[in-house]
């Protein structure tokens, strides 16, 4: 368990808490923080002692999205080839991060207060559950910078209706915690002071369940969410049979 300059990693019993730690920059996602999150999520998922993960941000905000200054550096450093290569590598890193939440078997709960903008909104929604602090402002302001809410769009359109998703990425107006709750984007709204403890309490409840059953539940959830009904029922059948035989083996072992 190694914290870095940009990410604090701490264990509360079997819950690992990851705190994005660039409060002066509203936890904007530079390369170091993005890579740190990828590494930390992989490490937590590989650790059998970690049963659930909480992701939060230090200071006044959850996360202000992509580090705009770093982005400017990619395109303005006068070396077009290197800039293009750096931008490409960064796009892959960001995509890998957003992909990872649905690939790892450990459930992840976001504890988000203050601003969750662009990539920060994307991170909050990529988590399996979201506990919102009352001050949450979640939005996609990319168009205001002349860019596209690109990598974050895939998750957004899967989590709210199309009209709402398009409104969010086109108008760029942030939604408050109460609206996030009513849209089904958040699971709970609590005071900012209680946001991390509430997320940890939910994570602790998840941690009490059988690990392989929880992992299979998350894996199946993400598969059926994106499949046509007949195929979704087929993979559900496979999981059902696998879990029955698994339970039987464990009963026989006793």
Question: Using CB under 6 A as the criterion, which residues of the chain lie in contact with ligand COA when the complex forms?
Answer: 25-26, 28, 60-61, 64-69, 115, 117-118, 141-142, 145, 147
Distance between CA atoms of 64 and 254, rounded to whole angstroms?
A: 51
Least separation in angstroms between CB 194 and ligand COA? 21
Q: Give the nearer residue to ligand COA in terms of CB position, either 143 or 233.
A: 143
Q: Report the residue closest to ligand COA, judged by CB.
A: 118
Cα-Cα-Cα-Cα dihedral sign, residues 181, 190, 95, 234: negative
When the beta carbons of 65 and 107 are compared against ligand COA, the nearer one is 65
Diameter over CA atoms, the chain: 68
| Calpha distance 24→20 (Å, rounded) | 11
Choice among 105, 142, 173, 176 that is catalytic: 142
Instruction: Report the DSSP beta bridge partners of residue 19.
Output: 8, 56
Between residues 121 and 200, which has the closer beta carbon with respect to ligand COA? Answer: 121
State in angstroms the smallest separation of the CB of 44 from ligand COA. 25
Distance of closest approach, residue 80 Cβ to ligand COA, in angstroms? 21
CB 45 within 8 A of CB 104: yes
Whether the Cβ atoms of residue 93 and residue 152 lie closer than 8 Å to each other: no
The SS3 of residue 156 is helix
Q: Name which of 70 and 197 has its Cβ closer to ligand COA.
A: 70
Cβ-in-10-Å burial (0-12, 13-18, 19+) of 40 comes to buried
Assigned token pair, 189:
């709204």
Least distance CB 96 / ligand COA (angstroms)? 18
- Active-site annotation holds for 134: no
Which residues participate in catalysis according to the annotation? Answer: 142
């Amino acid at each position: 368990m190694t914290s870095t300059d940009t990410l604090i990693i701490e264990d509360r019993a079997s819950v690992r808490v990851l705190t994005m730690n660039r409060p002066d920059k509203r936890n904007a996602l530079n390369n170091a923080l993005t890579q740190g999150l990828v590494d930390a999520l992989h490490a937590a998922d590989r650790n059998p002692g970690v049963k659930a993960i909480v992701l939060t941000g230090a200071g006044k905000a959850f996360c202000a999205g992509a580090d705009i200054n770093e982005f400017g550096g990619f395109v303005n450093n006068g070396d077009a080839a290197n800039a293009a290569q750096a931008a490409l590598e960064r796009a892959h890193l960001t995509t890998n991060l957003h992909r990872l939440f649905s690939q790892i078997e450990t459930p992840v709960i976001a504890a988000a207060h203050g601003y969750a903008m662009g990539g920060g909104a994307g991170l909050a929604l990529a988590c399996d559950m979201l506990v919102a602090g009352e001050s949450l402002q979640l939005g996609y302001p990319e168009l205001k910078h002349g860019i596209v809410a690109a990598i974050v769009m895939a998750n957004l359109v899967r989590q709210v209706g199309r009209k709402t998703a398009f409104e969010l990425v086109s108008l760029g107006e942030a939604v408050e915690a109460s609206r996030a709750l009513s849209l089904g984007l958040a699971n709970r709204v609590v005071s900012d002071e209680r946001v991390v403890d509430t997320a940890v309490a939910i994570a602790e409840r998840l941690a009490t369940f059988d690990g392989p059953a929880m992992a299979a539940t998350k894996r199946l959830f993400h598969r059926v969410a994106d499949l046509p009904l007949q195929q979704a029922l087929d993979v559900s059948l496979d999981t059902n049979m696998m879990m029955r035989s698994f339970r039987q083996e464990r009963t026989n072992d006793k």
